[in-house]
């Protein structure tokens, strides 16, 4: 087997995401052949080298798990929370160690994917795949066609302009509130909320209903299930789906 970067190997073993693996290395939690490694860029040979994380030997996984969860409001999208709030992993009762692909903020509900396939999780977060995530937002006030067009083209948030979005009005209740569907392929912190705020509308409720071709199906808040083969293939073969 060819050499590969240490953080990539750790992620492929299902220990943590690649970014978290980098933190573990820098914190001195990782050893290669019983020698502590605390710098990035090290390459290892998985067939010969012995890798330990927190003094436990790790091996690459061959059986991966892919799960979709209907995240309720009031849960954080992380493995462990420093403030001891409930995390999405509290909802998934399995013995294998998994972690989320991307994030949903504390007050946002809806579709969240989880896996122990670190390589795939890292790949799916790469901007080149442009995977659209679709949300339904309940916002204050009646949104205008002009504002919808601004969201479609891209709006300026803080120090960046958002990429073009797909947006449609589901319904408007006089001047009180609107329900809007919006699809984006970026994933910046609280992006959808900030996009609507930029055109003068506060988001009251936000739910993600799909990740590319994967949707919530019949899941209810707090429920989860394993992805089917079609959904897994969609995640694994993005090059085919994106031409």
* Residue 239 clears pLDDT 70, i.e. is over it: no
What CATH architecture is 4-57? Roll (3.10)
* Residue 79 clears pLDDT 70, i.e. is over it: yes
**Topology alike, domains 66-127+213-241 and 132-211:** yes
Report which listed range, 1-5, 121-125, 232-236, is most confident.
232-236
Q: How far apart are CA 60 and CA 185, in angstroms?
A: 30
The pair phi, psi for residue 108, each rounded to 5°, is -110, 140
Mean pLDDT of 77-100: 87
Say which of 49, 81, 105, 138 is annotated catalytic: 105
DSSP state of 9: H
Instruction: Tell the CATH topology of 66-127+213-241.
Output: Alpha-Beta Plaits (3.30.70)
DSSP state of 2: -
- Tell me, yes or no, if 117 is annotated catalytic: no
Q: State the virtual CA torsion across 86, 205, 131, 92 in degrees, nearest 10.
A: 20
Q: What percent of the chain has pLDDT over 70?
A: 95
* Sequence ranges of the domains in the chain: 4-57, 66-127+213-241, 132-211
The per-residue pLDDT for range 150-164, each reduced to its tens digit, is: 999 999 998 899 999
Instruction: Tell the CATH topology of 132-211.
Output: Alpha-Beta Plaits (3.30.70)
Strand partners, 82: none
Residue with more model confidence, 4 or 227: 227
Write down the pLDDT at residue 237: 80
Strand partners, 182: 135, 167
């Amino acid at each position: 087997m060819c050499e590969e970067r240490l953080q990539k190997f750790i992620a492929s073993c299902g220990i943590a995401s690649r970014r978290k693996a980098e933190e573990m290395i820098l914190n001195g939690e990782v050893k290669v052949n019983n020698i502590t490694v605390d710098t990035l860029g090290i390459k290892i040979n998985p067939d010969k080298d012995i890798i330990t994380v927190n003094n436990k030997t790790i091996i690459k996984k061959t059986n991966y798990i892919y799960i979709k969860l209907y995240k309720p409001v009031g849960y954080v999208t992380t493995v462990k929370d420093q403030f001891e709030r409930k995390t999405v992993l509290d909802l998934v009762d399995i013995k294998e160690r998994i972690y989320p692909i991307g994030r949903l903020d504390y007050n946002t509900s809806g579709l969240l994917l989880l896996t122990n396939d670190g390589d795939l999780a890292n790949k799916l977060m790469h901007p080149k795949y442009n995977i659209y995530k679709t949300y339904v937002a309940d916002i204050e006030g009646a949104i205008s066609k002009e504002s919808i067009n601004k969201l479609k083209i891209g709006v300026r948030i803080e120090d960046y302009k958002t990429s073009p979005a797909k947006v449609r009005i589901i319904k408007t209740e006089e001047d009180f509130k609107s329900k809007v569907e919006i699809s984006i392929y970026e994933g910046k912190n609280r992006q959808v909320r900030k996009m609507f705020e930029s055109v003068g509308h506060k988001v009251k409720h936000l739910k993600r209903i799909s990740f590319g071709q994967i949707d919530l199906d019949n899941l209810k808040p707090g429920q989860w299930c394993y992805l089917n083969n079609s959904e897994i293939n969609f995640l694994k073969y993005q090059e085919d789906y994106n031409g």
